[in-house]
Amino acid sequence: MAEQAVPRPVDLPSDLRHFIDGKPASSVDGATFPVADPVTNEVYGRVAAGDAADIDLAVAAAKRAFTDGPWPRLTARERAKILNKIADGIEVRAERLAELETFDTGLPITQARGQAHRAAENFRYFADVIVALHEEAYIVGDKQVNYAIRQPAGVAGLITPWNTPFMLETWKLAPSLASGCTVVLKPAEWSPLSASLLPEIMAEAGVPDGVFNLVHGIGEQAGAALVAHPDVPRISFTGESGTGQIIMRTSAENLKEVSMELGGKSPCVVFADADFDRAVDAAVFGVFSLNGERCTASSRVLVQREIYDRFVEALAARAAAVKVGMPADAATEVGALIHPEHYARVLEYVEIGKREARLVAGGDRPAHLTSGNFLQPTVFADVRPDARIFQEEIFGPVVGVTPFDTEEEAIELANATKYGLAGYVWTKDLQRGHRVARAVQSGMVWINSHNVRDLRTPFGGIKASGVGQEGGVHSIDFYSDVRAIHVAVGDLHTPQFGKQG
């Protein structure tokens, strides 16, 4: 279609290779896989398809850099300087990064720009954290001093999903490198493009060879080999809950420490006394930003009966007015979904929703976008808690609304899925806000706010949404081994076995 002919970014890389020990590399067996953009679904390039042999090389390089290289032994300040240079490198490329990300993932350009800046901030933030880090010390009377030190754990395996790829890669790279680990990153196969800027950013910043390694590939091959590798003591994974379970099973073989950031089906609970307009703004943004491909999306909106009809009407009207369009267009609010396979899956949920609930907005491809993975923002009302669209993560611009009468019922509904990532509570009653926030079973709750997160706060889910916390010092702890050191400074009595005479 002429209207959908999108110009490709200039100098679009079409041969995406691994980066191992400071050098670009093809796969050992020469294998590649194709990658397409989500607007034309035409192949724009080929990506090196890593498997166990490539992972072996990358892990060996990372292990050498960890054992023999300077990185883990640098002072915090020295590493922080390099992390800040990485942030500089990201910032000067922010526009290019956003352009590539938008082209590759279908995310609206304005949102991709925000993600590029957040990626730089991830490095600046963790640079600050490590120079300000303090350790524990305990004085045991006048006999002993005990203290604990963190030491980098070794080679960290980082496995990332296709939604907001670059931002999530840096969310793992920044703390792992800050902690002194060396890393092997395995980006998602549907969105490998923005990671191709990382090698030059790292090299320019002065990251020594072997500290940062990148292996592309299919999850079940490259990802699985990284998880199974005995020389990788940490796996930080973000992706689907089912994949997380597989990774935990494999990690058990080597007793690896894992950090799991998994799926979600987060509730947005709106009480009748809430600021109606702000709650509508937040509900709309919470589920339709990032194309709805957002782990913390408020994909279940629970509304108190007194305002239910009015809220559904407002949500439907706003959804119908959301601008769906070309990802590179600055006016676009919802772009194209990542891949035809994912698009088909989301459409299937829309069909299921039509049988399970009342469709009040969207439900189809926008009339003006006759090809590409586009979907109208879709709202279902009267969604029952046993509906599949209430229980299952859709990961697209689809939201379900469910009425409730009492606070107890709201909490029960909020907790009625296997997930527990985020929650949002809207009420002017402060006490109720806190009460409900505590009762909602999820790792993060916002009261009268959409998802705005300070990097110092813990990030993570409970139930099927995750294991462990990232963010702030939690991330540094994950990438570190702790050693407790006990020093006798006084006359410490030692029982004298064998001296009974």
| Residues near ligand NAD, by CB under 6 A | 159-163, 186, 188-189, 219-220, 223-224, 227, 238-240, 243, 246-247, 261-264, 295, 393, 395, 421, 461, 466
Instruction: Please state, in angstroms and rounded to a whole number, the distance separating the CA atoms of residues 262 and 237.
Output: 8
Buried b (16+ CB within 10 A) or exposed e, 314-323: bbbebbeebe
- What residues form DSSP beta bridges with 210? none
Instruction: Please state, in angstroms and rounded to a whole number, the distance separating the CA atoms of residues 212 and 196.
Output: 13
Q: How far apart are the first and last CA of the chain?
A: 98
Residue 465 or 480 having the CB closest to ligand NAD: 465
The dihedral formed by the CA atoms of 191, 192, 197 and 201, expressed in degrees to the nearest 10: 100
Burial of 300 (0-12, 13-18, 19+ CB in 10 A): buried
The one-letter amino acid at 228: A
H helix or E strand, kind and range, residue 461: none
The minimum distance between CB 322 and ligand NAD, in angstroms, equals 21
Question: Which residues does 351 contact at the CB level (< 8 Å), separation at least 6?
Answer: none
Whether 402 and 353 have beta carbons less than 8 Å apart is answered as no
Instruction: Please state, in angstroms and rounded to a whole number, the distance separating the CA atoms of residues 393 and 389.
Output: 8
Residue 69 or 472 having the CB closest to ligand NAD: 472
Residue with tokens 């292996």: 215
Which residue among 261, 333, 356, 470 is the active-site one? 261
Residue 150 or 186 having the CB closest to ligand NAD: 186
Instruction: Please state, in angstroms and rounded to a whole number, the distance separating the CA atoms of residues 86 and 81.
Output: 9
The minimum distance between CB 341 and ligand NAD, in angstroms, equals 10
Burial of 91 (0-12, 13-18, 19+ CB in 10 A): middle
Strand, coil or helix: 283: helix
Residue 304 or 373 having the CB closest to ligand NAD: 373
Structure tokens at 40: 């034309």
- Respond yes or no: is residue 356 known to be catalytic: no
Residue with tokens 């890669």: 169
Instruction: Please state, in angstroms and rounded to a whole number, the distance separating the CA atoms of residues 70 and 48.
Output: 29
Q: Residue 98 CA to chain centroid, in angstroms?
A: 17
The minimum distance between CB 81 and ligand NAD, in angstroms, equals 29
The dihedral formed by the CA atoms of 172, 178, 183 and 185, expressed in degrees to the nearest 10: 20
- Which of the 8 DSSP states describes residue 219? I
The minimum distance between CB 260 and ligand NAD, in angstroms, equals 8
Catalytic residue numbers, as ranges: 261
